[in-house]
């Protein structure tokens, strides 16, 4: 017998028929003798509808009331799934975040989990009861409902798995696992059996949409073994109930990965923009003068390249931001021009960041050279490069995105079984 947390996303619970299918997945695990908690998202499209209603009521609205509205989507789904399970003869009840309680900080709309008292849910496991929990929500210090930000149900599921000391957290979604790259771009992309927390964290932050970044961070910190699998597979198909080796991708500690590839996957993030400050006076503290105000304004700066003039008196500072933050960034830079002491700002949109990820990079040389050579052979110009212990990120023109992804995927042999 194991203790499992199962999470189902919006497409998995989009209507009553799909909720019944989810209930069959849950019942399969209950019938196998496992203790089960389920975390659900709102029905597909419902959160967007609720957000739209808030904006229609008032473009500028109280974040606490916003949370009260948008959290209702998960409340509906949890109640419907509990009803469906009960009709199948499964002992189940729904839980809202405040009933557990799942305690958050006071940042309504983007709250962070601070504590979970899962003792009552664990006690009811002993009675054979399934907890059906509304994801994406908790209770803030002001005793108001607080939501965790978009994709927060993933974070809820991993946090609850840690709190109940689950053997595994299964994230059911509309894909059947984590692939070496986007299968829509590279048909030869392969589903990985296992991927490390660190690699998944890089993939999630660099464009892979399988899991929310915060949920992967939480899983890594608490060592929650997390399984990504498809809710659209037949719940009763052979192998679906195999606890040790179900279909999908296991995200785990790298110690569990016996054979580590040099490169695990290729991720990409479109809609990147490049901003360059020309002829900045080169002096101590210049970087802090530039990037401090950008950070305070909430502009997410990524790749940074600095080139100093021959006489050392001036420098060009180039960095990337999401395309949607260009106007905000330029406003901050213009406002602080006197302090930053630069001549001119130049910006360019329509760029893509392609990243090569793999824990095997730590012990292998030539990984970057392989990428540069492969891209050069395809005539793809590199605008900027950043590296870390398990990642190489390359900035290119957006029109070459698909070609670059396919080229790199092949260069590292990821298209071979």
Higher pLDDT, 236 or 87: 87
Residue 69 CA to chain centroid, in angstroms? 24
Is 417 domain-assigned? no
Q: How many residues does the chain have?
A: 417
Residues 6 or more apart whose CB falls under 8 angstroms from that of 294 comprise 301, 321, 329, 332, 333
Same domain, 251 and 310: no
CA 200, 202, 205, 207 dihedral sign is: negative
CA distance linking residue 39 with residue 74, whole number of Å: 9
* 315/370 same-domain check: yes
- Is residue 47 a known part of a binding site? yes
Tell whether 146 is covered by a domain.
yes
Q: Is 115 annotated as a binding residue?
A: no
pLDDT given for residue 310 in this prediction: 65
Is 272 within a domain?
Answer: yes
- Has 97 been labeled as part of a binding site? no
Confidence of residue 208 (pLDDT cuts 50, 70, 90): low
Contact assessment for residue 104 and residue 148, using Cβ atoms and an 8 Å cutoff: yes
User: Is 253 annotated in some ligand binding site?
Assistant: no
* 299 in a labelled binding site: no
**156: containing domain:** 3-255
Q: Which of 236, 255, 274 is the last residue of a domain?
A: 255
Give the residue ranges of DSSP H helices in 142-285.
152-163, 197-205, 213-222
Judge if 166 and 269 occupy the same domain.
no
Residue 358 and residue 232 share a domain? no
Same domain? 109 vs 60: yes
Residues 166 and 34 in one domain: yes
In a shared domain, residues 246 and 320: no
pLDDT at residue 32 greater than cutoff 70: yes
Mean pLDDT on 310-334: 87
Average pLDDT, the chain: 91
For residue 171, what are its two tokens?
């994230």
pLDDT digits (tens, 9 = 90+) for 124-159: 999 999 999 999 999 999 999 999 988 889 999 999
For 179-207, b/e burial (b = at least 16 CB within 10 A) is: bbbbeebbeebbebebbbbbbbbbbbbbb
Residue 346 lies in a domain: yes
Q: Is 120 annotated as a binding residue?
A: no
CB-based burial, 264-285: b 16+ in 10 Å, e otherwise? bbbbbbeebbbbbbeebebeee
Q: Report whether 412 belongs to an annotated binding site.
A: no
125/25 Cα distance (integer angstroms) = 18
Residue 271 sits in a domain whose CATH number is: 3.30.2130.10
- The distance in angstroms from the start CA to the end CA of the chain is 34
Cβ atoms < 10 Å from Cβ of 132:
30
* DSSP secondary structure, 349-379, as one string: EEEEEEEEE-GGGGG-S-HHHHHHHHHHHTT
* Cβ contact 191:209 at 8 Å: no
Asked if 87 and 159 sit in the same domain, the reply is yes
Does the residue 341 lie in any domain? yes
pLDDT more than 90, % of the chain: 69
> Known binder of ligand: residue 179?
yes
Q: Is the pLDDT of residue 306 over 90?
A: no
Same domain, 155 and 13: yes
Measured in degrees and rounded to the nearest 5, phi and psi for residue 32 equal -80, -5
Query: Who has greater pLDDT, 202 or 374?
Result: 374
316 is in an annotated binding site: no
Residue 209 annotated as binding? yes
Domain boundary residue, one of 255, 277, 300: 255
**Annotated binding-site residue? 8:** yes
249 is in an annotated binding site: no
Question: Which pLDDT score, from 0 to 100, does residue 107 have?
Answer: 94
Q: 354 phi and psi, to 5 degrees?
A: -105, 135
Instruction: Express as a percent the part of the chain with pLDDT over 70.
Output: 98
Do residues 7 and 140 both lie within one domain?
yes
Band (284; pLDDT cuts 50, 70, 90): confident
Is residue 260 situated within a structural domain?
no
Token pair 């929310």 in the structure block, residue: 212
Using one digit for the tens of pLDDT, what is the confidence trace for 372-397?
A: 999 999 999 999 898 888 999 999 99
Query: Which of 4-13, 183-192, 338-347 is predicted most confidently?
Result: 4-13
Torsion, Cα of 201, 202, 208, 211 (10° steps): 10
Work out whether the CA dihedral 347, 310, 290, 320 comes out positive or negative.
Answer: positive
Beta-strand pair 168-173/3-8: parallel
- The answer to whether residue 107 is domain-embedded is yes
**The pLDDT of residue 104 is above 80:** yes
Give dist(CA 145, CA 108) in Å, integer. Answer: 8
How many domains are contained in the chain?
2
In this structure, what DSSP letter does residue 259 have? Answer: S
pLDDT of residue 365: 83
- Is residue 149 located within the same domain as residue 279? no
Q: Is 280 found in the same domain as 232?
A: no
For the segment 165-172, the average pLDDT, to the nearest whole number, is 95
Report the distance separating Cα 259 and Cα 143, nearest Å: 48
Q: For position 54, which CATH number holds?
A: 3.40.1160.10
Which range scores top for mean pLDDT: 259-263, 298-302, 313-317? 298-302
The pLDDT confidence band at residue 312, using thresholds 50, 70 and 90, is low
> Is residue 102 over pLDDT 80?
yes
Residue 416 included in any domain: no
Both tokens of 199, joined, read 């690699």
Residue 367's alpha-carbon distances to 206, 264, 371, 375, 387, in angstroms, are 19, 12, 7, 13, 11
| Mean pLDDT computed over 44-62 | 94
- Among 197, 225, 255, the domain boundary falls at 255
């Amino acid at each position: 017998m194991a203790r499992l947390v199962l999470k189902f996303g919006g497409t998995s619970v989009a209507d009553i028929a799909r909720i019944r299918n989810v209930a069959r997945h849950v019942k399969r695990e209950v019938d196998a003798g496992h203790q089960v908690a389920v975390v659900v998202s709102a029905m597909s499209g419902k959160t967007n509808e609720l957000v739209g209603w808030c904006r229609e009521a008032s473009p500028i609205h109280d974040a606490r009331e916003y949370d009260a509205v948008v959290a209702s989507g998960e409340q509906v789904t949890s109640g419907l799934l509990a009803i469906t399970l009960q009709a199948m003869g499964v002992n189940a009840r729904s839980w809202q975040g405040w009933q557990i309680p799942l305690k958050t900080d006071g940042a309504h709309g983007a709250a962070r989990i601070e504590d979970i008292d899962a003792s009552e849910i664990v006690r009811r496991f002993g009675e054979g009861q399934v907890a059906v929990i509304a994801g994406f929500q908790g209770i803030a210090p002001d005793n108001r409902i607080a939501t965790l930000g978009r994709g927060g149900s993933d974070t809820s599921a991993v946090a609850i798995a840690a709190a109940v000391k689950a053997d595994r957290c299964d994230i059911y979604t509309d894909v059947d696992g984590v692939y070496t790259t986007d299968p829509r771009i590279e048909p030869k992309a392969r589903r990985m059996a296992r991927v490390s927390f660190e690699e998944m964290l890089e993939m999630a932050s660099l464009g892979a949409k399988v899991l929310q970044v915060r949920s992967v961070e939480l899983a890594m910190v608490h060592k929650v073994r997390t399984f990504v699998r498809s809710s659209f597979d037949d719940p009763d198909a052979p192998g679906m109930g195999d606890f040790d080796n179900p279909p999908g991708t296991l995200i785990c500690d790298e110690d569990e990965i016996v054979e580590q590839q040099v490169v695990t996957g290729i991720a990409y993030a479109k809609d990147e923009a490049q901003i360059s400050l020309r002829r900045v006076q080169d002096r101590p503290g210049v970087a802090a003068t530039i990037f401090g105000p950008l950070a305070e304004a909430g502009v997410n700066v990524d790749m940074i390249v600095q080139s100093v003039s021959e006489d050392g008196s001036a420098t060009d500072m180039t960095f990337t931001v999401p395309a949607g933050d260009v106007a905000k960034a330029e406003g901050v830079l213009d406002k602080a021009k006197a302090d930053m002491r630069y001549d001119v700002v130049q910006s360019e949109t329509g760029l893509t960041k392609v990243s090569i990820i793999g824990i095997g990079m730590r012990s292998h040389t030539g990984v970057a050279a392989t990428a540069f050579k492969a891209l050069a052979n395809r005539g793809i110009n590199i605008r900027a490069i950043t590296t870390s212990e398990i990642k190489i990120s390359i900035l290119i023109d957006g029109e070459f995105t698909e070609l670059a992804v396919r080229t790199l995927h092949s260069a590292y042999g990821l298209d071979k079984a």
